[in-house]
Amino acid sequence: MSKSASLPEGYAEKSVRVFNDKTTVLYVNDSGELVRFSYRVKNPCVQEYLPGVGNIKGNVNTERFLTVSEDFAIGADHDGNAVFKDPAKALRALRKHFGKTLLEIRLQNLLPGLSPITCKRYKQAAFEPAWASTDSEKQDAAFVLGFLDIYENSFGT
């Protein structure tokens, strides 16, 4: 598979391993074979994210992320889009701090594990979280949605 391909519909993701600039997804194909698929960071952090300066696009509230964990440090790619300085660390931090929210999104929408390949599907599910009944759950879903907006920039998905 090429690095720009996505998992075919219906494939069950077995595990996700993230290594600095590469995500490896293992899944089982129709023949029952375990297949490895790698996805590289297409848009790495190359500059600081300072809204209104130079070619920086948008106005991401970086403090919102940093107050949760330093692992959510945000920079910008060469086009000025917000990206995580270390997408692998950011994903691990999201799982650590918002694991319950990710699980709810996953179970309520029958999604495979979160990866660059499934990011768009998670964004759609987090946009209107029908399962979120409390303000806290809605805030957590909004944080996850904000994370996904930035995370997908790193992979150009």
pLDDT tens readout for residues 85-143: 999 899 999 999 999 999 999 999 899 888 888 889 999 998 888 788 899 999 999 99
pLDDT reported for residue 75: 95
Q: Distance from CA of residue 115 to its chain's centroid? A: 6
Q: Quickly state the pLDDT bin for 31 (edges 50, 70, 90).
A: low
pLDDT reported for residue 116: 83
> Which residue's entry shows tokens 């995500």?
23
In terms of pLDDT, which residue wins out, 139 or 27?
A: 139
Q: Which spans in 3-134 are helix H?
A: 62-66, 87-109, 119-127
pLDDT tens digit sequence for 46-70: 899 999 999 999 999 999 999 999 9
Q: Quickly state the pLDDT bin for 19 (edges 50, 70, 90).
A: very low
> How does DSSP classify residue 141?
H
Strand 34-40: give its sheet, edge to edge. 12-19, 22-28, 34-40
pLDDT reported for residue 117: 82
pLDDT reported for residue 34: 67
